[in-house]
Amino acid sequence: MTSDAKIKSTTHISKVWLIPLFAIVIGGWMVWYQWKNQGPLITIELKSASGIEVNKTPIKVRDLEVGQVKKIDLKPDLDGVLVTARIDASAERLLTENSDFWVVAPRISFSEVSGLNTLLSGAYIAMTADDSGKSKSHFVALERPPATPPGTPGLHVTLTSNDNFAYKPGDPIIYKGFKVGEFEDADFDIEERVLHYGAFIRAPYHKLITQNTRFWNVSGVKLHLRSNGVKVETGSLETLLANGVTFGIPRGASSGGDVDENATFKIFQDDAAASNARYKLYAKYLLLIDETVRGLTEGAPVEYRGIEIGEVARINPPDLIDGNILDQDYPIPVIIRIYPGKVRQQDTEEGLQAVKDTMHTWIGRDLRATLRMGNVITGGLYVDLQHDNNASTLAINTINDIEVIPTVSNEFTQLTQKADAILDKMNNLPLEKMIVEVTNVIDDIKAASNRVEEASSDFDDLMGDIDAKALNENLNEMLTKVSALLDNYSDGGRSAGEITETANALQETLRNIQPLLLQLNQKPNRLIFSDDNDNDMQPKAARKGIFDEN
């Protein structure tokens, strides 16, 4: 018996398809997980793409890799490159407006040596670890690494300068020869024509910065040829090779209070300018110089009895007095400043008024100004204020409300004037007549010299005519006769005996006339008047007494 077959439709799906389905699910999950956990894309503007490679150059924070460069394009304005990078999700919170990026590559300069570890590993892009501020996805990279890592304890200050010296990031800030900070950035204000520098002072040296702190330049070697001599200033070895500044509190000034973050300070040319900056008030006076001002410079000291009380402000300012320098009697105007703080007065309006009152009295009485040479080598001049005992009382003159201090010539000018007077007298001498007379005297001297020369020649001829041999014979004969004569007078000679006999006879004669001499001594007129009593008086015998013998 046969039965009919039953036919059924099959809708069963093979279990083999579970494998690719599972793979798709796993893959989708992995894609979703990767998409969900991947970090954002950011763009970084760079000057150039030197050392940057796609899918190779990392982005690091404190040497930890947190991203990678994905794309490099030129900027639309062709002023640099635009780098697109993927940042890890774990570092997304660091992408704020306070974050900075820069390329780390080998750098060698006078002020720094950095990035040498990239010689083998290659350049990379570094970023700061700062999560404060609003989120941001487009950044402009720094041209160089920041001088101070974020979070470093210390103080940021702003330094300004309008002098002819400039600093670059990395230049040092020195205190007593020790590096305590450095410049971080520079910005030039075109409208104010002033350079603004961002600088950082490391802790604990930031405590040295107070309200009365002054900064001044110590770059390279400075040779000052001033009125008080030659002065050489140098900083540290680092500032000899690069620019740098130092700071301090002027002598005699208080330290002042603490300063806030990003406080502004001015950079002065040298320590003297920085010290003088504390004097805010000053009194102006005018000098009218009739002599040369060569050697006098702006900033030259003004001294009173050897103590500096001010400085020269301006020399020959325009539109101050009428006339021009080509006029013979034109006095050169010089404006000086006298600071109350330098004469031990308060740097206040009261102190300034006290200085003005004293100067007003002295100017009318006997105060005079003189230009003196401070150093022979440099020839620098300074203004010396002294009391002139021979000065007479004068009415005080003012020009543009500036009192004029009378001037007197210095010793050098007086010596020059005396030398000019002597030269004038010498020029007035009859030099031509004197030259003629001197010429005549010289001719007479020549004639006398010729006559002397002729007499000398005649004498030589006379000496030549003398018979030297006959002269010698005569001299020998004369010497022989003198010798014989001396022999006669020697002991035992004839002449000696005769002299002895004559002396004996003379002695006998003197003995015989001795009585006559005695009588003449008693009675000098005996030879003229005769005397009857020619007998010599004889002495009588003594009388006998009672005590004599019979």
pLDDT of residue 543: 45
Q: What is the pLDDT of residue 359?
A: 92
CA distance 14 to 63: 54
User: Are the C-beta atoms of residues 186 and 196 closer than 8 Å to each other?
Assistant: yes
Claim to verify: residue 196 and residue 306 sit in the same structural domain: no
- Residues 223, 121 share a domain: no
- Do 247 and 307 lie in a common domain? no
Residue 271 sits in the same domain as residue 283: no
Taking each helix axis from N to C end, the angle separating 494-512 and 468-488, rounded to the nearest 10 degrees, works out to 40
Output phi, psi for 352, to 5 deg.
-65, -40
> Does the bond joining 204 to the residue before it have cis omega, within 30 degrees of 0?
yes
Q: For residue 510, what pLDDT is reported? A: 74
Would you state the pLDDT for residue 335? Answer: 94
In a domain, 149, yes or no: no
In a domain, 325, yes or no: yes
Q: What domain range includes position 335?
A: 279-419
**Are 101 and 188 in the same domain?**
no
Residues 216, 208: Cα–Cα separation, whole Å? 15
The pLDDT score that the predictor gives to residue 286 is: 93
Inside any domain, residue 9: no
Residue 545: the pLDDT is 39
412 and 293 share a domain? yes
How many other C-beta atoms can be found within 10 angstroms of the C-beta atom of residue 197?
23
Q: Is residue 521 part of a domain?
A: no
Residues 262 and 320 placed together within one structural domain of the fold: no
530 in a domain, yes or no? no
Query: What's the domain count of the chain?
Result: 3
Report pLDDT for 550.
37
Instruction: Indicate whether 99 and 165 sit together in one domain.
Output: no
**Final residue of a domain: which of 276, 301, 322?**
276
- Answer for the pair 59, 124: CB distance below 8 angstroms, yes or no: yes
How close are the terminal C-alpha atoms of the chain, in Å? 258
Q: Six-digit token pair at 348?
A: 């206040």
Residue 502 lies in a domain: no
CA gap 343, 472 in Å, rounded: 99
Last residue of a domain, one of 216, 247, 276: 276
Would residue 57 count as lying in a domain?
yes
Is 158 in the same domain as 270? Answer: yes
Specify whether the CB–CB gap between 44 and 59 falls below 8 A: no
Task: Check residue 283 and give its pLDDT.
Answer: 92
Do 131 and 58 fall into the same domain?
Answer: yes
Token readout for 378 is: 């440099």
**Same domain assignment for residues 228 and 354:** no
Q: Are residues 306 and 326 in the same domain?
A: yes
Of 397, 419, 441, at which residue does a domain stop? 419
Flag whether 329 is in a domain: yes
Q: In a structure prediction context, what are the per-residue pLDDT tens digits for the chain, which is 550 residues long?
A: 556 666 655 556 667 777 888 888 888 887 777 666 678 889 999 988 888 889 889 998 888 889 999 999 998 888 889 999 998 888 888 888 888 888 888 766 655 556 566 666 778 888 887 777 888 889 998 887 777 776 788 999 999 988 766 788 888 888 888 889 988 888 888 888 888 999 999 989 999 999 889 998 887 555 555 545 555 555 555 555 567 888 988 887 788 888 888 899 999 888 878 887 788 889 999 999 888 888 888 888 999 988 899 999 999 888 888 877 888 788 999 999 999 988 888 888 999 999 999 999 999 888 999 998 877 676 788 899 999 888 777 788 888 889 999 988 765 555 555 566 666 666 676 767 777 777 888 888 888 888 877 777 776 666 666 666 666 777 777 777 777 666 665 655 555 666 677 777 777 777 777 776 677 666 666 655 555 555 555 555 444 433 344 3
What pLDDT score does 548 carry? Answer: 44
Is the pTM above the cut of 0.85?
Answer: no
